[in-house]
Amino acid sequence: MHKMLVSVIDFLKAFSALADGDSKELCTRVSQVFNEMGRESVLFKLLQVPSTEVQEAVMGCLQYARLEELDDEEVQQLLHMLNPEIVESGERLLGAVLRNLTQFLEKDGEAADKFRRNHTRSVIDRTFKVLCTNCSRETFGNPDEEEQKITLSEQCVQVLITASFQPLLRRHLRGEVAKDFLKMLKDHETLDSWNCRDMNLELTWTGRHLDLLLSCLNTVRGQQGRAGWRLELRRTLQLREDPHDIKQFVVKYPQ
């Protein structure tokens, strides 16, 4: 049954993808019929099916959804899927949800503005929780699990970086939501192998918080931690490029 549902969803995805690009008029017309039949509502109902394969297929199809066709209840359902408790068993599903949320944050138009206005705080809060839980996983010595872990961390950071590029969203990246910033960097440093890719959390607007950066350096300076020295080098290079950066950082973007 689940395989059949996945096949049907993939069929919907194919027409949605073709209609979203430069396709023949027929594909656009078929996709419009699906819209009129409540495609998004059906897809969100399928998210309740207890099958990771079905849920991942739904996420793949929803990347072509139009925000104006999603109501607040459906968006909340999507956000609730960012559950930190499934980081060890549902990395692919979480990654699919994060990719969709990243695309929603990047979209243009009135519906996208409404999404950012109403849901950015929840998106960032849940993303940080997933990232913090994922960073604390002990996968050292297991290359497959370590790759899954760093991939999920990178997808979380991409959501945060996307929000960081938009000045109106930056306020959601400071304050209580960033309380585990140092812990995540330390977990990344102590629980991951040296061959593991850097997740570059410091590239987010949270990572530009001077107090956090200095705290990180004070914590790891004597231990030659890779995260601390990377932060120090990157920040030093930024200041060399713009000697007024600190003044601008404090005055223009107060906490």
Per-residue pLDDT of 7-63, as tens digits, reads: 878 877 776 776 665 556 666 676 666 666 666 778 888 888 888 888 888 888 888
- The span from the CA of 105 to the CA of 211, in Å, is 27
All residues at 6 or more sequence positions from 120 whose CB lies less than 8 Å from its CB, including other chains: 105, 163, 169, 172
- The span from the CA of 255 to the CA of 242, in Å, is 21
- The span from the CA of 18 to the CA of 14, in Å, is 6
Q: What is the pTM of this model?
A: 0.78
Mean pLDDT, the chain, rounded, equals 81
Contact 129, 138 (CB under 8 A): no
The confidence score (pLDDT) of residue 204 equals: 93
The confidence score (pLDDT) of residue 246 equals: 40
- The span from the CA of 215 to the CA of 183, in Å, is 11
The confidence score (pLDDT) of residue 238 equals: 55
| DSSP string covering 151-211 | HHHHHHHHHHHHHHTSGGGGGGGSGGGGTTHHHHHHHHHHHS-TTSPP--GGGSSGGG-HH
- Provide the sign of the torsion angle of the four alpha carbons 203, 209, 212, 217, taken in this order: positive
Read off the tokens for 12: 């919907």
Per-residue pLDDT of 233-248, as tens digits, reads: 555 555 445 544 444 4
Q: How confident is the model at residue 131 (pLDDT cuts 50, 70, 90)?
A: very high
| DSSP string covering 218-233 | HHHGGGT-HHHHHHHH
Read off the tokens for 194: 């040296």
